Amino acid sequence: MSITIKTPEEIAAMRIAGRLASEVLDHVTPFVQPGVTTEELDRICHEYITQVQGGIPAPLNYAPPGYTPYPKSICTSVNHVVCHGIPGNKVLKRGDIANLDITVIKDGFHGDTSRMFIVGGEAAGSILARRLCTITYECMWLGIAQVRPGARLGDIGHAIQRHAEAAGFSVVQEFCGHGIGRGFHEEPQVVHYGRPGTGVELKAGMIFTIEPMINAGKRHISELPDGWTIVTKDRSLSAQWEHTCLVTETGVEPLTISAGSPAIPAIVADRFAA
Ligand code: MF3
Ligand code: CO
Ligand code: CO
């Protein structure tokens, strides 16, 4: 398979799937509190997707080559967990940082998005935790701000890597953004590091995710024996944000936006004036 250009009908369906995925995050947000378990958050999201949205949680039983089927409906990655944390009996406590990653299938199309939460509210987080979450959010948006026809994937990766490393953080290299549509993970791979002017040239109608994983310490990772959970090798904190993005004729349209989406950061205000 190669990189597909979505038709207007496919784009319309992707707008719906993207908004639904973001609305799951809006719905679960008030439940992300000290004392909740990650499997309670999974159940809340699963019920909302299946019973309110009429959708399918894409992670449930997802089994790419070499993986055992993923056992839950969302990913919950807390503190030093980089990605693919499996919901379970883990209790969230004040000051934890948690990524909730939601992928909804609606009418055959995928919407994929994640946000960071500081458990107990912004003020509960350590200075480092807050800074890591904010810088990672800016990294995602700096990547999104590169997207337009004629730009290249390396422009996205470079913008992200430069901002993360200037803050003293590191970029995870083993996991990346991805094309998305009828498939959960399509071509191309969207790595979050690189050199400007290199890599695949973007064309209107491409849809892919940008989902940088940024570590407070070194970039290296380890996989836990469950076959899914990825942690920082040095057990430093890790953060991630994700949007699904459409390349338009003139620039970019993030598809995973809803009423509860956090504001676009000031660092890209020049590109996304209200
Ligand atoms: N949502 C993740 C991504 O952004 C993939 C999760 S795969 C799962 O690509 F099986 F762990 F859910
Ligand atoms: Co993704
Ligand atoms: Co995701």
**Nearest CA residue ID for atom 10, ligand 1:** 59
70 lines ligand 1 (CB under 6 A): yes
111's tokens: 């919407």
Which DSSP state fits 122?
A: G
103 lines ligand 1 (CB under 6 A): yes
d(CA 251, CA 143): 12
151 lines ligand 1 (CB under 6 A): no
Note the pLDDT of residue 84. 98
Asked if the model's pLDDT at residue 1 lies above 80, the reply is no
Task: Give 274's pLDDT tier (boundaries 50, 70, 90).
Answer: low
d(CA 145, CA 58): 27
Rounded to 5, what percent of the chain is helix, strand, coil?
Answer: 30, 25, 45
Note the pLDDT of residue 136. 99
**Nearest CA residue ID for atom 4, ligand 1:** 112
- In degrees, rounded to 5, the angle at the alpha carbon of residue 214 between the alpha carbons of residues 113 and 105 is 15
112 lines ligand 1 (CB under 6 A): yes
The radius of gyration of the chain from alpha carbons, rounded to an integer in Å, stands at 17
Asked if the model's pLDDT at residue 257 lies above 70, the reply is yes
Asked if the model's pLDDT at residue 268 lies above 80, the reply is yes
- Secondary structure, 3-state, 8-20: HHHHHHHHHHHHH
CA of 207 relative to ligand 3 center, distance in Å: 14
65's tokens: 């080559």
Note the pLDDT of residue 273. 80
Note the pLDDT of residue 100. 99
The residue ranges of every structural domain in the chain are 8-272
- In degrees, rounded to 5, the angle at the alpha carbon of residue 50 between the alpha carbons of residues 44 and 54 is 135
Task: Give 191's pLDDT tier (boundaries 50, 70, 90).
Answer: very high
| Percent of the chain with pLDDT strictly greater than 70 | 100
Residues 81-110 have a mean pLDDT of 99
Mutate to test the pocket of ligand 1, among 68, 72, 73, 84 (most ligand atoms within 8 A of CB): 84
CA of 161 relative to ligand 1 center, distance in Å: 22
Task: Give 108's pLDDT tier (boundaries 50, 70, 90).
Answer: very high
Mutate to test the pocket of ligand 1, among 25, 103, 180 (most ligand atoms within 8 A of CB): 103
177 lines ligand 1 (CB under 6 A): no
Look at strands 230-232 and 97-106 and give their pairing.
Answer: unpaired
Residues 233-248 have a mean pLDDT of 99
Residues 35-52 have a mean pLDDT of 99
pTM of the model: 0.98
75 lines ligand 1 (CB under 6 A): yes
Q: Give the three-state DSSP class for 245.
A: strand
172's tokens: 């995870």
**CATH 3.40.50.1000 for the 8-272 domain, yes or no:** no
pLDDT in tens, 118-159: 999 999 999 999 999 999 999 999 999 999 999 999 999 999
Note the pLDDT of residue 20. 99
From the CA of 103, give the closest atom in ligand 1.
Answer: 1
Note the pLDDT of residue 14. 99
Asked if the model's pLDDT at residue 188 lies above 80, the reply is yes
Burial of 122: CB neighbours in 10 Å, binned 0-12, 13-18, 19+: exposed
| Percent of the chain with pLDDT strictly greater than 90 | 99
Q: Give the three-state DSSP class for 48.
A: helix
184 lines ligand 1 (CB under 6 A): no
Nearest partner of 252 among 264, 241, 262, judged by Cα: 264
Note the pLDDT of residue 9. 98
Residues 190-209 have a mean pLDDT of 98
**Nearest CA residue ID for atom 11, ligand 1:** 84
From the CA of 209, give the closest atom in ligand 1.
Answer: 4
Q: Compute the mean pLDDT over every residue in the chain, rounded to the nearest whole number.
A: 98
d(CA 83, CA 76): 8
Note the pLDDT of residue 53. 99
